[in-house]
Amino acid sequence: MSDVLVDQSDWGKIMVTGMDRARFLHGMCSADIQGMTAGDWTRATMLNVKGRVVSVIEVVARPEHLLVLCAPELTDKTLAVLDKYAIMDDVAFEVVPLPLHRVWTDDVESVWTAPPIFETADGAAAPAEVEVRRIEAGMPRYGVDVDEDCFPFESLLARHVSYDKGCYIGQEPIYRVHSRGQGARLMRGLAISGDGPVAVGATVAHADRPAAGTVTSAAVSPRFGSIALAYIHRSVWDPGNPVEVGDRPATLVELPFGSAA
């Protein structure tokens, strides 16, 4: 598999300035922002008071400011949430135009680990190719696989929740579930028999639970065949469990695809 050059020039880039910028963002998201130094980069979730995901962001630490990156459909929403909570804080926000891309290698983990590159993309991959690689990696897309009905621990976004940092919005319900050990559902991959993608919204059925989950994204991967992402009920979410999507047999897979190989 060749590298995939992902053009993200349309992403939101919100420059955060002011003396309180690190402390403010630290309290706004699930990652440890105050521990960052110039040149660091991290991904995080922004939550509501119930611990549900309102935005997925990335934060880049620069000497004179912090740069918040988010998918284009989240720019206005993210900026509005930041503005809402910046009451007595010495912070200011400005959407800035910057070129942005990143390179995903043939290792699906690179979808999660590839840093932002602030240069113009030359030879960017087609959106369909990017989508396949995203699904292979199990990266949720906001508005498709994750929204304000979702907790970050229900998907691989759990990687970007710090349980060692101080208080932030939505922390209490997240810590409560963490202390119990599990939530009610978890995003799994589906390795599906047959050709072609399954329908988004299709029901995932298990012998012990006819409505075990729902497909949120689906594609045909050159490496893994017909694949999909779905939230699966905890009673049947173990990798390797046989399920059906429509009339097609499938197997639950730990994400990212290929990680258990």
**Is pLDDT at 261 greater than 60 in this prediction?**
no
Token digits of residue 33: 């922002």
Separation of alpha carbons 227 and 257, rounded Å: 9
What pTM was computed for the model? 0.94
Separation of alpha carbons 233 and 237, rounded Å: 6
Model confidence over 66-121: pLDDT tens digits? 999 999 999 999 999 999 999 999 999 999 999 999 999 999 999 999 999 999 98
CATH of domain 8-137: 3.30.70.1400
Cα dihedral 167, 17, 146, 31, rounded to 10, equals -40
Model confidence over 197-223: pLDDT tens digits? 999 999 999 999 999 999 999 999 999
Query: What residue ranges do the domains of the chain occupy?
Result: 8-137, 184-261
With vertex at residue 148, the alpha carbon angle to CA 210 and CA 190, rounded to the nearest 5 degrees, is: 40
Across 8-22, 26-40, 160-174, least confident range = 160-174
Separation of alpha carbons 42 and 22, rounded Å: 13
The mean predicted confidence, pLDDT, of the chain is 95
**Which superfamily is assigned to 184-261 in CATH?**
Aminomethyltransferase beta-barrel domains (2.40.30.110)
| Averaged pLDDT for residues 188-195 | 97
